[in-house]
Amino acid sequence: MFHAAKSTALALAVAATPAMADEVNLYSYRQPELLKPLTDAFTAETGIAVNVAFLDTGMVERLQAEGDRSPADLVLTVDIARLNAVVEAGVTQPVQSEVLSANVPAAFHDPEGQWWGLTTRARIVYASKERVADGEVTTYEDLADPKWEGRLCTRSGTHAYNVALVAAYLHHHGEEATKTWLEGLKSNLARKPQGNDRAQVKAIWAGECDIAIGNTYYMGQMLADPEQTEWANSVRIVFPTFENGGAHVNISGIALTKSAPNKDNAIKLMEFLVSPEAQEIYAEANHEYPIAPGSEPSELVQGWGTFTPDDVNLMDIAALRPDAIKLIEEVDFDG
Ligand code: FE
């Protein structure tokens, strides 16, 4: 469920400022702390206030329940599957804008403009510095090799991040090979899938496993947290590739709601978020990869090395999601 206190705060903020036309309301699955530097910069530049309601889950249901009366102008989320779910629920409207088109490569937005990508992240391998040699793991396929028996950790197979990875595997190898791969992964697990991505790195640090699957930006988040710095320092980032492709990449993105009461301001905020200025704030704040041409990842992120992103289209990943979930359940991955 969404955070009732925070959503009430938004409702109050909206109700308390009826005369203030210069605002925009955002429903976000992303943490408010992460957005603050961006929304502050936007407000400073435009005078438009940004009200953020942070939701844990249930964004689609909430937008549907609120219907035309929804205060939300924009939805911000991570993962192509969630962006796609919002669009498929019919609660968004397309946006076409020269600024957006110029700053967001074609691969990272819906062809009709129903959603626009803002940043990317790769789903990579965290490898123990002590127990895994350089070059010992180079591909996703290799994670199913019996040499990793009892040495692999991951969060739930049905989490959106892993579903997208499995969908990409399906794209490259088809159903039978993907099922075999999932069975191989499962038999290599050091423990039942549990916890978030950072919990897997903690498990490497604690000696429970040697390699883990996780998103790149968590390295930055762990390094920024005194309690987790040791976990981060016990591993290095390996960018695996598919045997005939690149490293698996997913996105964060934004969509305009169908009923957006502050549509013009909302589009201004979308355009701001893909500007080089905002892209670098974003990259710095969450250790992701900016997508606008000319924007650079933070120095920390650049230090993790370069990689070739996989060439599978994000829409194909979204389309393969049901098949991926079916296979993950068939092999009882979390069981
Ligand atoms: Fe995440």
Q: What is the mean pLDDT of residues 16-36?
A: 79
Q: What confidence tens digit (pLDDT) does each residue in 282-291 have?
A: 889 889 999 9
Q: What is the pLDDT of residue 20?
A: 54
Q: What is the pLDDT of residue 96?
A: 95
Element (H, E) at 322: helix 314-330
Sorted by where each begins, the domain ranges of the chain are 4-120+250-297, 121-248+308-330
Which of the four pLDDT bands, split at 50, 70 and 90, describes residue 52? very high
Element (H, E) at 102: helix 98-103
Q: How many CA atoms does the CB half-sphere of 147 hold within 13 Å?
A: 10
Gap from CA of 162 to ligand 1 centroid (Å) = 11
Domain 4-120+250-297 identical in fold to domain 121-248+308-330 = yes
* Neighbouring residues of 307: CB distance < 8 A, sequence distance ≥ 6: 122, 239, 241, 246, 247
The alpha carbon dihedral of 63, 96, 52, 196 has a sign of positive
Query: Quick check: 10 pLDDT over 60?
Result: no
Query: Quick check: 1 pLDDT over 60?
Result: no
Q: Which of 105, 106, 110 is closest to 95 using CA atoms?
A: 110
DSSP secondary-structure letter at 119? E
Query: With contact defined as beta carbons under 8 Å apart, do 224 and 141 qualify?
Result: no
Percent residues over pLDDT 90 in the chain: 87
Gap from CA of 307 to ligand 1 centroid (Å) = 20
Q: Which of 182, 189, 188, 191 is closest to 163 using CA atoms?
A: 182
Gap from CA of 91 to ligand 1 centroid (Å) = 24
Query: Quick check: 3 pLDDT over 50?
Result: no
CATH T-level fold of 4-120+250-297: D-Maltodextrin-Binding Protein; domain 2 (3.40.190)
Query: Quick check: 7 pLDDT over 70?
Result: no
Q: What confidence tens digit (pLDDT) does each residue in 229-283 have?
A: 999 999 999 999 999 999 999 999 999 999 999 999 999 999 999 999 999 998 8
Q: Which of 176, 186, 309, 183 is closest to 241 using CA atoms?
A: 309
Q: How far apart are CA 151 and CA 154, in angstroms?
A: 10
Gap from CA of 163 to ligand 1 centroid (Å) = 13
pLDDT, averaged across the chain: 93
Q: How far apart are CA 319 and CA 315, in angstroms?
A: 6
Q: What is the pLDDT of residue 243?
A: 96
DSSP secondary-structure letter at 143? G
Q: How many CA atoms does the CB half-sphere of 5 hold within 13 Å?
A: 0
Task: Please state, as a whole number, how many other Cβ atoms lie within 10 Å of the Cβ of residue 227.
Answer: 8
* Neighbouring residues of 179: CB distance < 8 A, sequence distance ≥ 6: 327, 330, 331
Gap from CA of 258 to ligand 1 centroid (Å) = 26
What is the distance, to the nearest Å, from the Cα of residue 165 to the centroid of all Cα atoms in its chain? 12
Strand partners, 213: 125
Q: What confidence tens digit (pLDDT) does each residue in 80-113 have?
A: 989 999 999 999 999 999 999 999 999 899 999 9
Gap from CA of 69 to ligand 1 centroid (Å) = 30
Gap from CA of 215 to ligand 1 centroid (Å) = 7
**Which CATH architecture best describes the domain 121-248+308-330?**
3-Layer(aba) Sandwich (3.40)
Which of the four pLDDT bands, split at 50, 70 and 90, describes residue 9? very low
What is the distance, to the nearest Å, from the Cα of residue 264 to the centroid of all Cα atoms in its chain? 26
Q: What is the pLDDT of residue 76?
A: 95
The first and second tokens of residue 199, run together, are: 């919990």
Q: What is the pLDDT of residue 311?
A: 87
Query: With contact defined as beta carbons under 8 Å apart, do 121 and 289 qualify?
Result: yes
Gap from CA of 23 to ligand 1 centroid (Å) = 28
Gap from CA of 55 to ligand 1 centroid (Å) = 14
Element (H, E) at 252: strand 249-257
Gap from CA of 143 to ligand 1 centroid (Å) = 21
